[in-house]
A and B are shown apart, each in its own frame.
Chain A
């Protein structure tokens, strides 16, 4: 019985992240538009975009290979698996022990690896710009992420996300400097990984300012739909990760009643809305950095993560 409930919850999680992801992006876009005193697109516009893209014909470049056609599926698979393993409304997911936080970060890394390859596949200079800048950003964002994982793992005694989430829910943690530093570093990494301002402009199509958009420039139709959905999922994953670790209130425990599960779902939607609002406010109030300022930005995130880890290493002996 418990197994069936667990299976149900895991499947529900996978479905919920898939369904809510476009809504989150739509909410962020609508809020940004309102803050800039525009009407903005309706909240469900990303769903309409996806449906429209799926109905369109794929226009494939002459020089694109079989890898170009397979990569959207690979990226989607990796991102969806990673998003399914981050606890959203309940901890203790059925398959959470199969991939810990390092594996989740590595799954996102493999999605990025294939996306960078897609940028190089057609053999245009735009794809090259996107891929080379993306790997530069990744070369600093991912070590920062791993340092954050270290900090959390040292506090929780495990790299399993469920264990970390349960530790954060428990009252014994208190405010810790390392957690504060890790939060700031995680926000910086999340901004970089999701190609948000100040690192990259998700709404631009100008070569000087794009990183992510440059890599997917040659994609169209159903392939582009899958890649857009993966991008939405990635944003949802990072907001869920920050919510699960740093705002763990309302998350149901393992073996909870359905009332607690319902509360968990409502709390989760609320956290998503809050995160989206904060993201929209932040993006509207700051300008995009020039490209070679981004390594300094991410280097600062890496230093914060390293400092947080160092503090934990040192304070163990006290």
Chain B
């Protein structure tokens, strides 16, 4: 593989870390969803490039799933849901942006130390890519831990999963990546549905669709 291939893969992995930091920086919900869409887009590009570089066509499928589901469908759906349910547009933070950035830096350093020590005999660029992937996972967890808004926690979880997908594609030879991606996406869908059900239950004290029907505005 040529130098340029390595460099582009490396650059895309680094961009994913950068977009994770950008997610930590946001304080408005719509902006966060847009940044998450960018996150998924960068992941799709990265996986597609790996598919080209490793000559593994099944990774194109993973890239397509990431692009369609995570970059387009889920952000649009969440956008509509936020409008519909009137969820708070501003993200309340437990830890402010500055300290969160500092902790994020520390987590990236930790990920690098761990990964570079564990994979001592591997190819140098693969090691750095794995370190970046672990950083994305840790930053996703940080987001879940330091934000109070439920939607931002969902976004954090999904970006964590993106990091796992990046790790899986970077380290060659994980044929179940496609299946795992689909499974995770379905899990996310269930979580999101769960949020709705909670809201509905909170609002109407029931999730019985028959009873809910009577609250509909127009009469048949």
Whether the Cβ atoms of A300 and B25 lie closer than 8 Å is yes
Whether the Cβ atoms of B105 and A314 lie closer than 8 Å is no
**In the assembled complex, which residues on chain B have CB atoms less than 8 Å from the CB atom of A311?**
112, 128
A-B contacts counted at CB < 8 A amount to 59
A296 to B104, CA, bound (A): 14
Q: Given A306-B105, A310-B109, do A175 and B11 touch, yes or no (CB 8 Å)? A: yes
Main SS class of interface, B: helix
Contact segment of A23-31, A68-76, A177-185:
A177-185
**0/1 per residue, A105-119, Cβ < 8 Å to B?**
000000000000000
Of the candidates B13, B21, B112, B124, the one whose C-beta lies within 8 Å of that of A300 is B21
**In the assembled complex, which residues on chain B have CB atoms less than 8 Å from the CB atom of A177?**
10-11, 13-14
Contact segment of B63-71, B94-102, B147-155, B191-199:
B94-102
A318 to B6, CA, bound (A): 15
Of the candidates B11, B15, B98, the one whose C-beta lies within 8 Å of that of A296 is B98
**0/1 per residue, A289-318, Cβ < 8 Å to B?**
000000110011001101100110011001
Whether the Cβ atoms of B21 and A174 lie closer than 8 Å is no
Task: Give the size of the chain B interface in residues (CB under 8 angstroms).
Answer: 26
Of the candidates B7, B13, B25, B98, the one whose C-beta lies within 8 Å of that of A176 is B7
* B180 on the A face (CB < 8 A): no
Whether the Cβ atoms of A307 and B10 lie closer than 8 Å is no
Task: Give the size of the chain A interface in residues (CB under 8 angstroms).
Answer: 20
A177 to B7, CA, bound (A): 8
Whether the Cβ atoms of A314 and B7 lie closer than 8 Å is no
A177 to B17, CA, bound (A): 10
Whether the Cβ atoms of B97 and A299 lie closer than 8 Å is yes
Whether the Cβ atoms of A299 and B98 lie closer than 8 Å is yes
**0/1 per residue, B94-129, Cβ < 8 Å to A?**
000110011011001100100010000000100110
* B145 on the A face (CB < 8 A): no
**0/1 per residue, A227-240, Cβ < 8 Å to B?**
00000000000000
Of the candidates B97, B98, B102, B116, the one whose C-beta lies within 8 Å of that of A314 is B116
Whether the Cβ atoms of A303 and B4 lie closer than 8 Å is no
A9 vs chain B, min Cβ distance (A): 34
* B8 on the A face (CB < 8 A): yes
Question: Which residue numbers of A lie inside 8 Å of B, CB to CB?
Answer: 174-177, 180-181, 184, 295-296, 299-300, 303-304, 306-307, 310-311, 314-315, 318
Question: Which residue numbers of B lie inside 8 Å of A, CB to CB?
Answer: 3-4, 7-8, 10-11, 13-15, 17-18, 21, 25, 97-98, 101-102, 104-105, 108-109, 112, 116, 124, 127-128
Closest 9 pairs (CB-CB, A-B)? A177-B14, A175-B7, A318-B124, A296-B97, A174-B7, A303-B101, A175-B11, A299-B98, A303-B105
A-B contact pairs, 13 of them (CB 8 A): A174-B4, A175-B4, A175-B10, A176-B10, A181-B18, A299-B97, A303-B102, A303-B104, A303-B105, A307-B108, A310-B108, A311-B112, A314-B112
